[in-house]
Amino acid sequence: MINTALVSFGMSGKVFHAPFIATNPDFNLVGSWERSSKNIEAAYPSSKSFNSYEELLADSSIDLVIVNSPNDSHYAYTKSALLAGKHVVCEKAFTNTSAEAQELDELANKKGLKLAVYQNRRYDADFLTLQKLIQEDEIGELLDVQISFERYRTNLSPKKHKEAVTPGAGLLFDLGPHLVDQALVLSGMPLAVFADIRITRKVSLVDDYFSMILYYPSHRITLTSGMVFMTQLPGYKVYGTKGSFIKNRSDVQENELIAGKKPNIPNWGAESESDYGTLYTDHNGLITSKVIQSIPGDYKIFYQKMADAILNNAPVPTSAQEGKNIIRVLEAARNSAFNKRVVGI
């Protein structure tokens, strides 16, 4: 079993990591560093609350460290864990700069350790279903792809690190990594980026809206996110030479996890019929539509792949190189928005 410890047992640890580690037979949840409130032992009685990161890293039994702290600490905590000889899963955004990401990738390779970035929304029902349609050639060659992640939150988040003026704060580095990762999975690195990044809420000190166009030789991918979308648009609008797919962003896993459900229950991640997307196709000038049953979302896949990487030397689910590419796109987006021009990558 892979003895695993968390850097934090806040929402990220409770919702997105601990349930998948604790229910996967290849992992043993050793515990978490808890700075003030001591909660992990109550939630997982066989676990331990570490009083400091140094204490956690000094535990020779720990094989894997989950760096799920605020963005501005990812680089330092990941580097410390690698230097201590631990495999690492680092939450998104991987780092604040692509140079930091490159350094961590080189360090992990030098020490023969597995380093992965936690891009769980590769395994949303929406995105899994879209990929299946593309693989089955229902869409044809991509012409225009629009992916959005919209919310309506006019007040500041209670998570102060997301709203403070610190490196890695703001919506671009919060939800941006999810959207950029999905674009790169679909089409690889773009040729260039044009972005608009703004503060739209009067109470906000950091960016809470962005829109970016990723340029590819044959198509464009537009990514949009914001905190003032009272009425949300479809999360996926994909247009190709053979068909178009329109779907709301409706993966149920986060809500199920927040409600306390565990990912080992039957029908995990299954969406209701009302949330299914629609495929439109042209048959000799007659446009027809077909409701497409969603593939169930499954964040379990990430830790299954991580276990295979550590135990069998398989590829990690999202590599440090992939994480660095996401940061390169986000850096280009900031450059573009500041200078109001298209920026090559």
| pLDDT at residue number 231 | 87
Distance of CA 51 to the CA centre of its chain: 28
Kindly report, residue by residue over 247-303, the tens digit of the pLDDT. 999 999 999 999 999 999 999 999 999 999 999 999 888 899 999 999 999 999 999
Structure confidence at residue 62 as a pLDDT band (50, 70, 90)? very high
Pick the CATH number of 2-119 from 3.60.40.10, 3.40.1030.10, 3.40.50.300, 3.40.50.720: 3.40.50.720
d(CA 168, CA 150): 19
Residue range 72-99, pLDDT digits in tens: 999 999 999 999 999 999 999 999 999 9
Cβ(210)–Cβ(224) below 8 Å: yes
- Domain ranges across the chain: 2-119, 121-301+329-344
Q: Are 225 and 175 in contact (CB under 8 A)?
A: yes
pLDDT tens sequence across 221-237: 999 999 999 888 899 99
Q: Copy the structure tokens of residue 208.
A: 């809470």
Q: Is the fold of 2-119 the same as that of 121-301+329-344?
A: no
Residue position matching structure tokens 């044009």: 194
The angle at the Cα of 151, spanning 69 to 297, to the nearest 5 degrees, equals 70
pLDDT at 7 over 80: yes
pTM: 0.95
Tokens 């990161």 sit on residue = 53
pLDDT of residue 164: 82
- DSSP letter at 291 equals E
- Give the whole-angstrom CA distance, residue 237 versus residue 89: 31
CATH of 121-301+329-344, picked from 1.10.287.10, 3.30.360.10, 2.60.40.740, 2.130.10.10, is: 3.30.360.10
Calculate mean pLDDT across residues 185-190: 98
Q: Of all residues in the chain, what percent carry a pLDDT higher than 70?
A: 100
